[in-house]
């Protein structure tokens, strides 16, 4: 049976403990128990989360586990020497070491992420990179696997991380069954963006939201201001003014953002040619798509495709 150690500390984020539920449901879905989950802390006993909920833990002893997962916290603080020492022992003694959300700070502080690709919650990624410049930080990934070290984005991305761990161990069918029983989408790919253009735009009125939803569902069309204004039941002039006030962008820029997001998702899925992606997302040709990708991501679609292939090969 695979031993899973989940490391907590005073002030840890309670949501990260959903990781334990993934392995619990996997034990049911796989037909026989495959995992034993143990809660760990430096001194053992009761440990209080940032929400005030306490859990009982075992103190650090043997570092030999199948997988050790480090939780994150709402407030990042320096780690104790005992925690860092234990994690360095885990790195060599256990099969996998993982972090959830800002738990990546702890792995970085221990030196475990030096020279490795990693991710964390998007709001903390640049600060982590500044503090630990040896880390190859990618702030826009759901989770990243680099050798035996796994890191995930923030909050509910721990579900994607743990479903991926289960899939690696027990296969895709068991992972899908776990996701279904937990009433969540089957895990997002590690390369999927943490961001959503629809969420970033944050329209305040139903009319502008309707126009954006229309655009997202008709990306292959021309999507003129007149067409979007009609969807919003406004005149083109009223629509353009209201759109900029609510989103801070012009309609044309917002449509390009939606197209780039959709194109990136298709490219990372790896099942479509660049020509088909450009056509279906409304770029008309690959050169226009390439220019839009460089404006948005600072790199062409081919680079994103190569990165996705590399990730999937790991």
Integer-rounded Cα Rg, in Å, for the chain is 22
Q: Average the pLDDT over 2-20 and give the result.
A: 96
Task: Assign a CATH topology to domain 2-181.
Answer: Rossmann fold (3.40.50)
Question: 101 catalytic, yes or no?
Answer: yes
By percentage, how much of the chain surpasses pLDDT 70? Answer: 93
Q: Average the pLDDT over 180-206 and give the result.
A: 65
Contact 222, 284 (CB under 8 A): no
Task: Assign a CATH topology to domain 197-313.
Answer: Arc Repressor Mutant, subunit A (1.10.10)
First to last CA, the chain: 24
Residue ranges of the chain assigned to CATH 1.10.10.60: 197-313
Range in 6-20, 44-58, 194-208, 261-275 with the lowest mean pLDDT: 194-208
3 DSSP β-pair partners = 36
Contact 220, 278 (CB under 8 A): no
Q: How far is CA 155 from CA 101, 121, 237, in A?
A: 6, 8, 41
Q: Who's near 278: CB < 8 A, 6+ residues apart?
A: 263, 284, 285, 286, 288, 289
- Catalytic: which of 48, 101, 158, 162? 101
pTM of the model: 0.67
Q: Which of the four pLDDT bands, split at 50, 70 and 90, describes residue 234?
A: very high
The mean of the pLDDT values for the chain is 90
Contact 221, 259 (CB under 8 A): no
Q: How many CA atoms lie within 13 A of 86 on its CB side?
A: 24
Confidence at residue 19, expressed as pLDDT on a 0 to 100 scale: 93
Helix (H, G, I), strand (E, B) or coil at 57: strand
Contact 108, 132 (CB under 8 A): yes
Task: Give the residue with greater pLDDT, 15 vs 193.
Answer: 15
Q: Who's near 163: CB < 8 A, 6+ residues apart?
A: 22, 175, 178, 179, 186, 187
Tokens of 50: 């940032």
Tokens of 262: 């959709």
Gap between the Cα atoms of 44 and 50, Å rounded: 17
Q: Average the pLDDT over 218-244 and give the result.
A: 94
Range in 38-47, 178-187, 213-222, 291-300 with the lowest mean pLDDT: 178-187
Gap between the Cα atoms of 179 and 176, Å rounded: 5
Confidence at residue 306, expressed as pLDDT on a 0 to 100 scale: 81
Residue ranges of the chain assigned to CATH 3.40.50.880: 2-181
């Amino acid at each position: 049976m695979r031993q899973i150690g989940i490391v907590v500390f005073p002030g840890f984020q309670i949501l990260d403990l959903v990781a334990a539920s993934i392995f619990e449901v996997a034990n049911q879905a796989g037909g026989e128990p495959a995992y034993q989950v143990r809660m760990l802390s430096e001194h053992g006993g009761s440990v209080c989360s940032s929400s005030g909920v306490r859990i009982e833990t075992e103190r650090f002893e043997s570092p030999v586990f199948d997988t050790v997962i480090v939780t994150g916290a709402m407030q990042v603080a320096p780690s104790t020497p005992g925690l860092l020492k234990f994690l360095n022992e885990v790195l060599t003694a256990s099969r996998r070491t993982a972090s959830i959300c800002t738990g990546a700070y702890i792995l970085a502080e221990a030196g475990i992420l030096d020279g490795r690709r990693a991710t964390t919650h998007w709001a903390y990624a640049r600060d982590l990179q500044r503090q630990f410049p040896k880390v190859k930080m990618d702030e826009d990934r759901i989770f990243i696997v680099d050798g035996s070290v796994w890191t995930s984005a923030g909050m509910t991305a721990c579900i994607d991380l743990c479903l991926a761990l289960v899939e690696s161990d027990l296969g895709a069918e068991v992972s899908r069954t776990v996701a279904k029983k937990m009433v969540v989408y089957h895990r997002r790919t590690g390369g999927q963006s943490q961001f959503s253009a629809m969420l970033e735009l944050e329209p305040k009125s139903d009319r502008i939201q309707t126009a954006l939803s229309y655009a997202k569902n008709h990306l292959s069309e021309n999507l003129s201001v007149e067409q979007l204004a009609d969807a919003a039941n406004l005149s083109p002039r009223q629509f353009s003014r209201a759109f900029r006030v609510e989103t801070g962008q012009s309609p044309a820029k917002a449509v390009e953002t939606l197209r780039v997001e959709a194109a990136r998702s298709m490219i990372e899925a790896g099942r479509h040619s660049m020509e088909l992606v450009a056509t279906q997302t409304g770029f008309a040709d690959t050169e226009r798509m390439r220019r839009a990708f460089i404006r948005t991501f600072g790199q062409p679609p081919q680079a994103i495709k190569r990165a996705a292939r590399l990730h999937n090969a790991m």
